[in-house]
Chains A and B, each alone.
Chain A
Amino acid sequence: MKRHPRTRSLSRILPSVFQGQRLPSFIFATLAIILFLFSVVKPDNMQSVRAGVTDAFVPLLVTINKPIQGVADYTRAISGLAALQAENTRLAQENARLREWYQRAVVLQSENESLQSLLNVKLPAQHNFVTARIIADSGNTYAHTVLVLAGTGTGVTKGQAVLSGEGLLGRVIHAGNRTSRILLLTDINARVPVMIEGGNVRAMLAGDGGYLPALIHLPPDRELQEGQRVITSGHGGLFPYGLPVGVVVKATGKAGWTVRPYADIDRTSHVRVVNALSDPRLQTEP
């Protein structure tokens, strides 16, 4: 290995850092360290700068996304062609079954509404949804966040719950003008108050950077079973009650329980942001 001709005793290395070509590197490395420490101590600072830069990158991200999504859709269509016949039969059967369910649901809904009006029940507010496309993710292996193309302009605000087609995906942590960042259930920082159905056991769902978030703060005397449904409990007021989360699975390699989310976190391309609406029936109550 070729070295610089001058000797590098300790007394010479230190000043050499501040000379010539190394100076910019040193300055920018120091600046990066300062910024890092600053954002560790105060993570919520400079949100407007972040949102501005992210919004500025939206056109580029969307442009690059388009052909890739196109190819993905195309390959999915091609690979799905073979299974089309079987899929069609299955869907036809499911449709027939769902039509029966629909009729029953309509009857039950009207019955439910009349009973509620009789009993004067105060229901939690109904929700509607903002559908948004995922345009980017965190780009690294540790942070589990995604960026979606919907912001405060379309009614998305910080703290709202986010669903994929199947179940809870996470929540909005920053809402910019055109984009919002969603913290997924699996992120280290994610905590969701949940309830395990069949016994009404309450717990906290805690992401750990892996694929199956863990159930913590379980009551010690309650026994769980694999396959039990997990829904949001609505405690703390951040998430509405009753959003489907996943099923209980025994943790591998350690004691305790984890949850396999209903949401297919890797393969989701569109999300639904839960936008709380005040219920007209509640407003008319005296």
Chain B
Amino acid sequence: MFGTDSIGWKKIEIVARLSVPQILLIFLLLLSYISLPLPLPYVGMVRPYLVLMGIYYWSVYRPTLVPPVLCFGLGIIMDILSGGFLGLNALVLVAVQWIVRGQRRFLMGQPYTTSWAVFALILIASALAQWGLYGLAHLQWPPLLPVAGSVILSFFLFPFVTLLFVMTHRILPVASRMLG
């Protein structure tokens, strides 16, 4: 039998394990803003949508980890760090979580390739939405080519980044569904 102390420790351990995905998300967020002194010119504009991958993955496989308030918060931080319009990233992340969560029963039963393909659709839609809103706000359209480059890069990075999420998923406590 467990004493009260060990139950307390157990809870702390569960909370600690549950916070790993969020810490990973914040790490990915920061990684998106690091300016790399790249060896090639003109590739600096191509940026993978790392946080979007996290929101997509967890919305399908453990939606309680990415509630709308977290998506909103991460989006606002991204907007502030990017120095752009407030709400642009927040809107896209909240919408992606909303849509994907509604379809998760379908997505969970699908093979990985289907999940990847659906991510591609979500990716294209969110990239175009952000590009469109940004252009609309400025009444001038930024070039589409770097956006396309970012989408393609994100598409091919998705399996590697989801590998991180799968690894994180394994250390999550199963019983946490009540807590999380």
Contact = CB atoms under 8 A, between A and B. Distances in A.
B30 A61 contact: yes
B75 interface: yes
Interface in B85-138: 85-88, 90-91, 94-95, 97-98, 101, 103, 105-106, 130-131, 133-135, 137-138
Nearest to A182: B83
Contacts of B98: 22, 25-26, 29
B35 A134 contact: yes
B55 interface: no
B174 interface: no
Interface in A14-59: 21-22, 24-29, 31-40, 43, 46, 49-50, 53-54, 57
B152 interface: no
Given A28-B94, A40-B137, A189-B138, A57 B41 contact: no
A68 interface: yes
Nearest to A33: B91
A199 interface: no
B43 interface: yes
Interface stretch (B2-10, B14-22, B64-72, B158-166): B64-72
A145 B85 CA distance: 13
Interface in B3-49: 27, 30-39, 41-47
A143 B84 CA distance: 7
Given A2-B105, A50-B80, A136-B35, A33 B30 contact: no
Nearest to A49: B80
A209 B78 contact: no
Given A28-B90, A33-B87, A140-B82, A188 B34 contact: no
A89 interface: no
Nearest to B70: A28
A167 B71 CA distance: 40
A262 interface: no
Contacts of B106: 1-2
Interface residues of B, number: 60
A29 B101 CA distance: 14
B81 interface: yes
A191 to B, nearest CB: 12
A22 B44 CA distance: 38
Interface in B127-155: 130-131, 133-135, 137-138, 140, 142-143, 146-147, 149-150
B87 A64 contact: no
Given A2-B105, A24-B68, A54 B81 contact: yes
Contact of A267 (B38, B71, B80, B149): B38
Contacts of A189: 138
Contacts of B90: 28, 31-32, 35
B172 interface: no
A15 to B, nearest CB: 16
A208 interface: yes
Interface of B: 27, 30-39, 41-47, 67-69, 71-72, 75-78, 80-88, 90-91, 94-95, 97-98, 101, 103, 105-106, 130-131, 133-135, 137-138, 140, 142-143, 146-147, 149-150
Interface of A: 1-2, 21-22, 24-29, 31-40, 43, 46, 49-50, 53-54, 57, 60-61, 64-65, 68-69, 72, 75-76, 79, 134-143, 145-147, 173-174, 181, 188-189, 208-211, 264-269
Q: Pick the 9 closest A-B CB pairs, nearest first.
A: A36-B87, A35-B87, A209-B142, A32-B91, A266-B44, A141-B146, A25-B98, A137-B35, A136-B33
Given A32-B87, A143-B82, A267-B38, 8 more contacts: A28-B71, A76-B39, A137-B33, A140-B47, A142-B147, A208-B143, A209-B142, A266-B42
